[in-house]
Structure formats: structure tokens, C-alpha cells
Structure 1
Amino acid sequence: MQAQQTLRSARSVTTIDLILLAAIVALALVTRLWFWQVQARSGAVPPGDPEEYYRAAIHMLHGGYHDTGKWLRPPVYPAFLALLLPPTRMNVAGALLLQACVLGIGTLVFYASGTQLFGRVTGMVTTLLAALFVPLASYASSLYAEALFVTLLVIGLALIDRALVRNSTRAACGAGVLLALAALTRAVGLYLIPLAAVWIAWRMRHGGSLSIGMGLSDTRLRRVARSKDHGAHIHPSSDVGEGAWKDTGKDASQSEQHIMSDKSDRLEIRSYQLAISLILGALLVVGPWAARNYLAHGRVILSDTNGGISMWYGTVRDDAEEKAGEARLAAVPNLADRQSLAIQMAWENIRHDPARFLARMRFKIASLYALQTRSYAVGDVISIDSRGAPLVQNAGEYRLSMTLLADVQYVALIILAIGGVCFMPHPARAIPTLLWVGLATLLAVLTIGHPRLRLPIVASVLPFAAYALVRLPAGWRHIRQLPRDRRSYMALSGVMVFLALIVSMRYIPWGAGMWYAVPGRSALEAGDLRQAETLLALAHDAHPDNPLRVIDLADLRLAQGDDRAALSLYRRAAEMERRSLYAQAMRAITGAYLAMPDEAAAGLAAIDDYWRSGNDLLEWAWTTRRRPAPDRVVPGDPMALGLYAGFAPATPDLAVGRWTLGEGRVRVRGGCGALAVQLRGPSGRRVDISIDDWGIRKRMIMNGEQQEVRLALSGIRECEFGPELTVHIVSETGLLDLERAPWYTGVAVYEVRVER
């Protein structure tokens, strides 16, 4: 009885715990809201995965699902997004703000996971690590499923441990439900369910629950038995060389305290009952989705149809093969058959050249575990400008200082996690997490080695990193005994393998260039152009193959007023890295400065070919373009990039102009005549047009046809000098076209001009 009371006391949460936990959750909210403010305020929907999730959510709100895309996406994240959009009046930025708040509070799952494995103190530290980990915070406010997937995965793994420790079929069923929800968020989690079931069945058949026989010595078991007889509170301890670091606190004792609370009749549970409960829980979630897919597509689709196509992409040998293969896949209307064909094409490539496939596996693993700083080292930064500001929403890319911080966190967490797994009291409790890490790595090897899969890998091992961090002082006190402990060599081997994956010779020339580039950029921002020219030239000479060093020189020439030289350098940087949105955007803006419409069109076309000129790019260009505005602006015209914002991407119904997202802005050079705005909107929609803070405004009711609104400018002070004016166009929004353009738009703006 006394032992049971002690166990309940160890598990109870004190007032101080609640205060600390609330403070950590508040910190998590602050970090996520900061990232939202930096990367998600534009309300743009990036192309690729985010657009597919968004389209699926919009279809859900209209009673269907997006079944006509390149592949079928799993439904949980679109359903989550569909819940967030209506309260914000279908505003994507508002929905992402709510998402950041929900997932910020969702860091509590890390407390549950750490507490389940190691106790309250480790649970608290795990939550703190999750609150501060940069990639996890940034993905919380992006249109990607990773942050939600991590939340479901972590609590699912914690419930697996709880099921094994307590022989609980309820926990096993709950784990199955949560892992299935994770699998219907990101399909990579689907294969973890049978792996976890096999592990549970094997563990129960050969070793019983995890609270019995999990690395406990006979001496410890006898001590536990005596504690039950005499009601004593056990403080297990051992030297580093014998079992675990000495631990008289609640963290290390909790696992053995479970032994005192488990009743002997639980040991009679049949070996496979927990595994069956987990599978049944998963079927409760996956079953209805699979049945729906069978009715819609005539095939069994358990999660999505993306895996086979990703596997084929991982075997493609050149651009011509990729283009031909995509055309071949697009000709197959059934999404399941399309995936089957992709798998067949992938195996054909593997059989044709197995050596090449095996050789590329190494690069895929390196891509999965590589540092994010490597993008700066090789110059393939896509969405960050030379000032460190994001051009578009692209979670996972940050300014250099934030990238370095994220990499320091990543390396430290992985090293700590390796130590935590090797030195934890009962290493078998780490098996479900290690199964996930191995599975994720294998799937990356078989597909494209996408670095976004690294986030759920790192997040899943946070409890072990936290445990190592908590036990670090005790380990330091016993540091002399570590060489005699074979687990030290296991941990060292794991760390060496990890370091081998992230080390690259590319950092050497990059570091040499950055030695001059950092002070050179500082001099450029301070206006010291002579010093900047000297340093940036040295940086380029040290690392001439890096397009970022060419961009530095282009920015310098632009600051010096040599637009033609700047354009030539931006074009050269874009040739070196065609995906550089900054090089392409500055090519378009500089082409507009030089009145070269072909150059501006080429830059914008390159952006639309790889990405999309959505409102995130428009908002960035609005703050970047510095030259005087013209008398006439046509939204969507490449020459007008930086002169309009708050607009949707190009839509097939408009050859000229663009639709606003409800609050559009256009910048023009003023005068003393009249402002004319040509626009169109659904019949009955009200639109308010105003000019800065001059009190000039007009409301119109749209009639479904193209209309022109005119506002007198004579009331503007010093209008004869042509001051720059910002025209605000505000209206209600509605769905434009569910299939072709699923954006919630206001009115179409064809032209804004000033008549003198």
C-alpha cells in the first residue's frame, strides 16, 4: 500500500510543475507566432504539397475530396486545415495563425512522451527542447503536414510504451488509433503500424511487459520483491559500468516503480492481445478511408498514392526521362494504377542499373541527415534573399544565422539522443522509436531522400536527448568509469556515424568565402561601397562556384547605380542556380528598371516555371523595389513586379490583370488629374477604393462586367510634383473556381492609371 501511494505521488503533477509547463508552452507559442509573422502573413498558398493540401481542404468544405490531382493525398491534415479556414473567413494567413497556436499547445505531447519514458523532469525538458527547436517551430505555421504528423507520432510512440509497461489493451488500441491518424497525415507512418505490432507481440511472448525483465539484474528484482513485502520505497542505483548512472531521483525510479503497481494477474494476458489491439485501433481509422477510396477509385488505397511516384523519382536518370515518365503517368487516369505504373518504372530502372541505385543510396541518406547550412555552402538557397528575408513560404529555409542555430540544435540533439538511448536504464523501451528512425531512413533511401523527413526523426528522439541532458551531471561525476563501459563505445560509434553523414568538404571553400562576405555585406548595408567592393570581390575569388557570391556582386552593382552590370550578374547567378527565386526576381525587377520587358518577363516566367508568383513573392517585391512608380500599373505584368501586392496568382480566366485576395494594393505616381481603376467582380459585390490617408475613397457595387472607377486627385497636397500614391482596393471574397483556381478572391483589377 505504501509503495502504491509513493508511486501515485511520483506521478502526480505539482503546482510548480504546472507553472513551469505553462511557461514552456507560452514559450512555444511565442516562437511559433514569431515564425508565423515572418513567413506566413501573406496568405499565399505555395505550389506543390501545400497547394495539394489546400485544394483537398477546400474540396472537403464543399462536400468532396481532391481526387483529380497528380496523386491522392492523405486526409488528416486537409481535414485539420478545413476546420481552421472557416473561422478566419477562408483567410489562409488567419488559418495558419490558428494552426500555430494549436500546435504550440500541442507541444504538451512531448511532456507526455518524456514523462512516460523517464519521468516528470525529463518530460519537462523534452517539452522545452520541442518549444525551442527551430524547424519544429517553423513548420507549425506552414502549409505542410509535418508538424501535425510529429504531434500524432510522438504521442503514438508514448502510448506503445505505456501499453507494454502496463499490459494495457486500451493504451495499445489508442496507440493504433494515433499511429493510424499519423499515417493518414503522412503516409510514411503507415508501415510503422505493422512493425510496432510485430515488436509488441515478440516482446510479450519472449519477455513479458517492459516493466519485467528489461535489463534488470536478478539483484534488482529481489530488491523490488522485498520492497513489495515491506512497503519500502526503492531508489535504484548502479555504477556507470554496471547498468545505469546512479539515480536517486524520480526519473530513473519511475520505471521500476511500475513493477510495484502491476498486479500479477496482468502477466497472464495472452501474448498477442496487445498487438491485436493496436491493429484493431489502426483499422478503426484506416478502414473507413480505405473503403471510401475503393468506392471512389475501385482500388484499395490505405493512405495515399504518392509513395510509388516518389520511388520512381528517386531512380530517374535525367530530365528527358523525367519528362517522358511524367507524361506516361499522367496518361493513366486511375490514381492507384498510376502509382502501380510508377513502381513498375522504378523497378525497371533499378534492374537496368542496380549499381547506380545502390550508389545513390548513400547520397540520399546524406541528403536526409545533412545540415541545412549545406544549402548556403553550395549556393542552392531557393527562397531567401541576400538580406535574409524570405521571398516565399518555404518551411525549412531560413536566414543564415537562423540556419546555423537550427543546425547547432540538430547536431546537439542527435548526439544527446544517441547517448540517451545507449545509457537509458532499459534500452528495449527505445525499440519502437528506433524502428521508426530506421523505417524513415529506409523510405528516404528508396525514394528521394527528402530532408523534410528529418523533422519527424529528430522530434521522435527528443525524449532521449532530454534524458541524456538531465543525466549529464551524474555522467560527468562518473566520467572516469565511462571507458570501462561498453555502452560508451556504442554511443561513440553512433556519434561517429552521424558526424560522417553531415561532414562535407564543401564547407571549406564556403567558409573561406564567408570570411570576406560577412563584413562585405555589412559594409554594403552601411553604404560603404568601396569597402564592400573590395571584400565582396575577395569573397567571390575565394568561392567563385557559389551563386550567392555572384549575387553579392550583383547587389553591389545595383547599389552603385550600374543597373546593366547588376542585371548581367543576376542573370549569371540564375544560370548557375535556376531555382534561385531571388536571382530571378531581381532579374525581373532590374529589367523593369532598364525598361527591358523581355528580361522582366523571362525572370518572372522562370519563377512561375519552378515556383509561382503568389502573394508571398508580391509582398516581398513590394518592400524591395525602390525606384519611382510609373503612371500606369497592370497587376500581373512582369514590368510591374513590386508595384502591387495582396493579389492571387495568375488565373486562367484573366489574360490581363489579377484578382485581389480581398485587400489589394497598387503603387502609382500621382498627379492632379484623376485616378482610373478598371476592375470586375461578381454581381452585387461591394468594393471600396481609397488612396493612402488622403480621405479620398469611393464605393462601388459590381455588376459582373468590367467597370471603371474614377477618383479626383486634386485634393492631394503638392499633387503637381507627382507624389507616390498607394491605392487600396478592399472587398469581400468568394471562391473563384473550385478546380482551376480555388482561391478566395475579391475583384479582378485590370489596370490602375493616373490621368494628368
Structure 2
Amino acid sequence: MSHRRYSLWLALALLVGLVPRLWLWYEQARAGVVYPGDQDEYYRGAIHIVLTGSYYDSGQWLRPPFLSIFLAGLFALFGMHIATVLLVQAVLSLGTLLLLAELARSMFESHRAGVMAAVLAAVFLPYASYASQLLSETLFTFLMAATLLLAEAARRRDLDWRWLLMCGMVWALATLTRPISLFALPLGVGLVLFSGLLRRIIRQPAVEALPPRRRLIGAVALVAGFVLLLAPWSLRNYAVHGHFILVDTNGGTSFWLGNLRAPDERELQFVWNETIPNLAERQQVAVARALENIRAEPLLFLSRLRNKAVSLWQFDVRLFAANAPIGITLDERSLAFAVASDVQYVLLLLLALVGIVFARRHEHHLVLLLWPVYGTLLSAVSLGHPRLRLPLIIFAFVYAALPLAHPQRIVAAWQHGERWRRVVLLGGVLALGLLWFARVYIPFGQSQFWLVQGNTERAIAAMPDNYLPYVAQGDRLRAAGDTAGALHAYDAAAERNGQSSYVQLQRLDLLRRADDAAGAQAAMDAIAAVGWGNNTLYSWAWEHLPPYLPEQIDIAAPAPGVLRACTRPNTTNAGRCFAGHTSGHRCG
């Protein structure tokens, strides 16, 4: 493939990737809502920079700064309009596709592999979804992909110190976005220093023959680039807080939250927030508490290591089986979206496994392969969640591109290659199956089968503790005009998943139509408690709930934020706006 054709195919991949990003931006970000938790803290950091020129230091912990700096730059360019900034971020996320394409092209010396890596990342729904959220996944994934590409460039140039210097600088930016990459630096330095000892694994004579002095200079350049960008932030933290804070104080708290002895121990965080004003000292207390918990119950710690590692790589569908979904947007509420994402995820990892097994020895990029192993170990000792794996699966797009770009090579290697490769491949598939399998999927799958058949009663019987069959039953009864039956079904769903904004919104709407103000207020309070009493939910309610025409309007009554079916002012009611029988005009 010529360079011109390669560029054209990459441009097409970017256009393909733009479609799901714009679609999901329109679905979940056009209202410009900032959700409580991580998003709110990144937003506060950005606003503080825009308004005062300094960072936000008065939260419950100190967040890494680079995402807030990035958002502040977008606010400065495009104004204080969150939806626009998220749209720009979604478009900029396409840059990750180009980095993955170049990494695959360089490793396999194949333009076709580069195109395939870009296409895989373009259509991957989780990447598209997080591209329009105020979270660090998109920026961190971009920076880690750039770090790995620079590491590959240095490897192919006999560990040229200039490339390693740039690699260290970008690595520092990634660490200032999410600090999980911090402790991987010694691993990278070790691979540079002792590359000769790894020759039997990487089989690269050029690297093997490098003199110790060149490897040492390369390692120093890598560390120097890293320190050059990280040190100013660390020194600033010491000046502000009087303690050495390398990047943030969130890591120590996450370590403690992942090693609680009892769920109610979490409440200590609010006590510390009130009684320990210094963020560094607050983190020290959290780390000490975590270590105390581990010493008190080491077996519990060991069992949780496995559970958190498995949780990191589990399916998104498991959230639905566990009655955990909260939001109203497509990626939060739709089981079909979760299934589609999981199917992509399974195919991606299986293809990557094929690529890893049948790649030639010199095509094994050790930093790239060790990155997900390192991330899994780190999650095992702190927190494990499917969202946290998104930056770790960079390797999967690169290696999955190989069998798609060169299937004949894979078939030939299967038929005529070493037997151990086939054994490793089958063993890897079995290991992934054991990693993904959970017994809850059996009754959940049976329940969903009956829902697809339209039999909600059998779906409920298959998994009575799951909220989804009751939601389907409520939707069906409401569409049929049986509001009392629908409310009963939604109540049953709320008993199983009281966090679901969709369920509580349906209850709120039906209860206010039944003049049950207390019940409607309770449903509205449940929505607000999980942070979804916002414009995204109100916009969804306007577009999806049927019109409601009360005899009179009480602006203090609980409602999902909008009024419907208001008449246009005329000569007899000039300046007035009241509920009537003419629909199609909004009144606020």
C-alpha cells in the first residue's frame, strides 16, 4: 500500500470514527451537564484556572491537573459552553486513532495493519462514549498511546536519547492526567537499561548489541524528560500544602477505598474532610488505614485482589445483571448498547490474542504488552472497574490489527507453525472465558431471552431479583394505557434498583398524574440523590414522556423540569401562559 493510499484510508477511518462520537455527543453531552464526582472536580479545576489563574486546592482531594488545564484551554478558546467543549474533545479524540495506526504500522511494518488498528478504534463504542464526557479516559488514552508510539520509535532507532526524552515528557503529561502511569516508569527504565538481558524474548540484535553507555544515556533521557514536566507540579504542591505530593492525593484514598473492612467505613472520608484540612495529611491517614486493614485481614485482601482484577476486565452487561445502572442516557441505560460494546470488546481481545500469539518475535513490543499487566496489578490493590481498562487496551487494537490485515499469514502459521503457538492460543481463549464467565449470566440470559419473546412473566420468573423485566412490564402496560399497573411494575423495579433515573422518572411522572405529591417528591429526591436531577434528564423527559395537561400549574410541585401543552398568548390573555388543549408550544 502506498503512503497516499494509506493516508486516504486513515482519513476514511477518521470519518467513520466521527459518526459514533457525534451520535453519542448528541445523546449524552449536548445539554452540557456536569455530573457529581469525578466530572465535577475536573470541571471545578478548569473553572478555577480560567477565573483565578490557579488550581483548585480545596476539594476532598487533590486531583491531577492536566485534564483541568486542557479543559481550561478549551474554555478559553470556545467560551464557557460545556456542550461545545465536549464536542471539541470528541473530535480531538480521533487523534488517538492516528497514534494507534502509526504504532501498528511501525511494529508490523504494514500500512494495512495501521489502517485496521484505526478502524477498530473508530468503531469501538466505549471510546466514542467517553470522548464526550468530562472524564480523564479520553485524554489519558491519547497520551499513553503517544507514549507507547514514542517508545516504539526509540526502540527502532537503537534507543536514541532524543526520542526517549520526548517519550519521558509525554509520559509525564499522561501521569499528570491520571497517575496510574507513575509507577510504570521504573519498568520502562529497566527495559531500557537491561534490554540486552531480554534478547531471548524480544530477539532484536540491534538492541542486544547496544553498548551499556548508550542504554544508560537512554534511561537518563527518559527519566529527565519525565522529571522535567512533573517536577514543577510536585514543587508547587509542596509550596501550597507543606508536604511532598508527587501528583495527587486521590491515589491514596482509592487504595483505602479498595481495601475497606466494612462498607460503612467509607463514611470516614466525610469525617476526615471536616477534621483534616490538609489534603496530604488526609491522604496519609487513608493510606495508614488501608495498611491497617490489610494487616488485620490479610486473607480478605488476597481474595479481593482476584475480585478487583476480574472486575476490571468484566463485561458492561454485568452492571445490568447486578441492578447497578443509574443514568438516563444511551450508554447508561441501554442494555443493547452494553451488549454491543461487550461484543466489540470480546472480539477485540480474541483478535488481539491471535495477533500476539502469531506475531513474530521482533514484533513483540514489551512495554506495550506489559502495560495492561501493570494496570491490572495496580487495580487489584486499589480499585477495579471496567471503565479503568479503557487506557489499558491500547495493546488490543494494535495486535488485533495483525490478523485482520494479514489473515493468510495467520492461517499459514496455524497450519505450518510451531505447535506451541496453537496450544498457547487455545489456553488464552480458555483463560479469557474463565475470566469473563459469571454464574449470574445464566439466569440473566434466560430472563432476557423471555423479554425478547415478549413474555415478561417468564422473564420475571427466570430472575425475579432483576429490575429489567419489571421495567419492560411497566413500559408495556403504560403504552397500553394501564397507568396503575405500570406504576406497580415501576415500583417493583425501584425496589430492585432504586438508583435508576429512568425508573424513578417514570414513577415521578405517573405519581404526579395521580396527584400523589409525596410519592412524586420521593421519586424526585431519589433522582437528585444520584446526581441526575439535571438538564440531560429534563431534556429526555421532554422528548419521551407523554404530554401532561393539569387543570392548574403549581410551580412548586415535583416535576421533571418542563411543562407541556401551553397555549400561545393571544388578544384575550396577553402576557399570560396557561395549560390548555393546544400542544406543541413550550412554556417555562
Q: TM-score range by the shorter chain?
A: over 0.9
Give the whole-Å Cα distance in 2 for the aligned partners of 1:308 and 1:720.
Answer: 54
1:368 aligns with 2:357: no
Q: 1:427 to 1:47 in 2, by over 3 A?
A: farther
Deviation at 1:52, TM superposition (A): 0.9
Match of 2:559 among 637, 640, 652: 640
1:417 aligns with 2:337: no
Give the whole-Å Cα distance in 2 for the aligned partners of 1:720 and 1:273.
Answer: 76
1:110 aligns with 2:100: yes
Match of 1:349 among 288, 293, 305: 293
Cross-structure match for 2:167: 175
Q: TM-score of the superposition, structure 2-length normalised?
A: 0.92
Deviation at 1:669, TM superposition (A): 5.9
SS at match of 1:640: coil
Q: 1:180 to 1:633 in 2, by over 3 A?
A: farther
Cross-structure match for 1:551: 471
Give the whole-Å Cα distance in 2 for the aligned partners of 1:73 and 1:640.
Answer: 35
Give the whole-Å Cα distance in 1 for the aligned partners of 2:481 and 2:371.
Answer: 55
Match of 2:121 among 119, 130, 138: 130
- Write the letter of the residue equivalent to 1:588: L
SS at match of 1:550: helix
Q: 1:667 to 1:202 in 2, by over 3 A?
A: farther
Q: Which segment drifts farther, 510-519 or 318-327?
A: 318-327
Cross-structure match for 1:190: 182
- Write the letter of the residue equivalent to 1:129: L
Cross-structure match for 2:548: 628
Cross-structure match for 1:380: 324
Cross-structure match for 1:282: 226
- Write the letter of the residue equivalent to 1:491: L
Give the whole-Å Cα distance in 1 for the aligned partners of 2:579 and 2:354.
Answer: 72
Any conservation in 2 of the 1:633–1:640 contact (CA below 8 Å)? Answer: no
- Write the letter of the residue equivalent to 1:539: A
Cross-structure match for 1:437: 372
Q: 1:274 to 1:380 in 2, by over 3 A?
A: same
Q: 1:619 to 1:515 in 2, by over 3 A?
A: same
1:273 aligns with 2:217: yes
Give the whole-Å Cα distance in 2 for the aligned partners of 1:506 and 1:29.
Answer: 35
Any conservation in 2 of the 1:629–1:669 contact (CA below 8 Å)? Answer: no
Cross-structure match for 2:252: 308
Give the whole-Å Cα distance in 2 for the aligned partners of 1:588 and 1:720.
Answer: 19
Give the whole-Å Cα distance in 2 for the aligned partners of 1:633 and 1:202.
Answer: 75
Deviation at 1:671, TM superposition (A): 7.3
Give the whole-Å Cα distance in 2 for the aligned partners of 1:86 and 1:673.
Answer: 46
Cross-structure match for 1:68: 58
Q: Which segment drifts farther, 285-294 or 554-563?
A: 554-563
Greater RCO, CA 8 A, separation 6+: 2
Deviation at 1:86, TM superposition (A): 3.4
Any conservation in 1 of the 2:145–2:394 contact (CA below 8 Å)? Answer: yes
Q: CA RMSD in A?
A: 2.7
Q: Deviations over 1:128-180 (max 9, x none)?
A: 11111111111111111101111110110121122122121011011111111
Give the whole-Å Cα distance in 2 for the aligned partners of 1:64 and 1:726.
Answer: 45
Cross-structure match for 2:193: 201
- Write the letter of the residue equivalent to 2:64: P
Q: TM-score of the superposition, structure 1-length normalised?
A: 0.73
Deviation at 1:559, TM superposition (A): 3.0
- Write the letter of the residue equivalent to 1:158: L
Deviation at 1:297, TM superposition (A): 1.1
1:616 aligns with 2:536: yes
Q: Which has the larger radius of gyration?
A: 1
SS at match of 1:371: coil
Match of 1:723 among 564, 582, 588: 582
Q: 1:398 to 1:559 in 2, by over 3 A?
A: closer
Deviation at 1:69, TM superposition (A): 0.9
Give the whole-Å Cα distance in 1 for the aligned partners of 2:533 and 2:543.
Answer: 15
Q: 1:474 to 1:428 in 2, by over 3 A?
A: closer
1:92 aligns with 2:82: yes
Any conservation in 1 of the 2:565–2:585 contact (CA below 8 Å)? Answer: yes
Deviation at 1:672, TM superposition (A): 6.1
Q: 1:379 to 1:138 in 2, by over 3 A?
A: same
1:16 aligns with 2:5: yes
Cross-structure match for 2:408: 473
- Write the letter of the residue equivalent to 2:172: A
Q: How does 1:524-543 map to 2 (within 5 A)?
A: 535-543=455-463
Give the whole-Å Cα distance in 1 for the aligned partners of 2:318 and 2:532.
Answer: 24
Cross-structure match for 1:38: 27
Cross-structure match for 1:711: 575
Any conservation in 2 of the 1:308–1:339 contact (CA below 8 Å)? Answer: yes
Any conservation in 2 of the 1:589–1:642 contact (CA below 8 Å)? Answer: no
1:596 aligns with 2:516: yes
Q: Deviations over 1:448-486 (max 9, x none)?
A: 21221111111233111212333332221343335x422
Give the whole-Å Cα distance in 1 for the aligned partners of 2:377 and 2:458.
Answer: 43
SS at match of 1:465: helix
Deviation at 1:89, TM superposition (A): 2.7
- Write the letter of the residue equivalent to 1:195: L
- Write the letter of the residue equivalent to 1:497: A
Give 5+ residue unaligned stretches, structure 1: 1-9, 222-258, 391-395, 521-534, 645-665, 676-709, 714-718, 729-751
SS at match of 2:390: helix
Deviation at 1:601, TM superposition (A): 1.2
Cross-structure match for 2:433: 499
Q: Deviations over 1:81-121 (max 9, x none)?
A: 11222343311111111111111244211122112211222
Q: 1:199 to 1:105 in 2, by over 3 A?
A: closer
Deviation at 1:491, TM superposition (A): 2.9
Any conservation in 2 of the 1:671–1:720 contact (CA below 8 Å)? Answer: no
SS at match of 2:575: strand
SS at match of 1:461: helix
Q: 1:269 to 1:634 in 2, by over 3 A?
A: farther
Give 5+ residue unaligned stretches, structure 2: none
Any conservation in 1 of the 2:137–2:391 contact (CA below 8 Å)? Answer: yes
Q: 1:721 to 1:419 in 2, by over 3 A?
A: closer
SS at match of 1:505: coil
- Write the letter of the residue equivalent to 1:495: V
Cross-structure match for 1:575: 495
Give the whole-Å Cα distance in 2 for the aligned partners of 1:633 and 1:180.
Answer: 56
Give the whole-Å Cα distance in 2 for the aligned partners of 1:471 and 1:604.
Answer: 55
Give the whole-Å Cα distance in 2 for the aligned partners of 1:585 and 1:272.
Answer: 61
Give the whole-Å Cα distance in 1 for the aligned partners of 2:382 and 2:567.
Answer: 52
Q: 1:333 to 1:485 in 2, by over 3 A?
A: same
Q: Deviations over 1:356-386 (max 9, x none)?
A: 22112222122111111222333322224xx
Deviation at 1:302, TM superposition (A): 1.8
Any conservation in 1 of the 2:43–2:68 contact (CA below 8 Å)? Answer: yes
1:299 aligns with 2:158: no
Any conservation in 2 of the 1:413–1:458 contact (CA below 8 Å)? Answer: no
Give the whole-Å Cα distance in 1 for the aligned partners of 2:557 and 2:353.
Answer: 51
Cross-structure match for 1:703: none
Q: How many residues align?
A: 585
Give the whole-Å Cα distance in 1 for the aligned partners of 2:96 and 2:202.
Answer: 31
Q: 1:674 to 1:56 in 2, by over 3 A?
A: farther
- Write the letter of the residue equivalent to 1:108: L
Give the whole-Å Cα distance in 2 for the aligned partners of 1:148 and 1:194.
Answer: 23
Any conservation in 2 of the 1:146–1:455 contact (CA below 8 Å)? Answer: yes
- Write the letter of the residue equivalent to 2:7: L
SS at match of 1:21: helix
Q: 1:91 to 1:308 in 2, by over 3 A?
A: same
Deviation at 1:320, TM superposition (A): 2.5
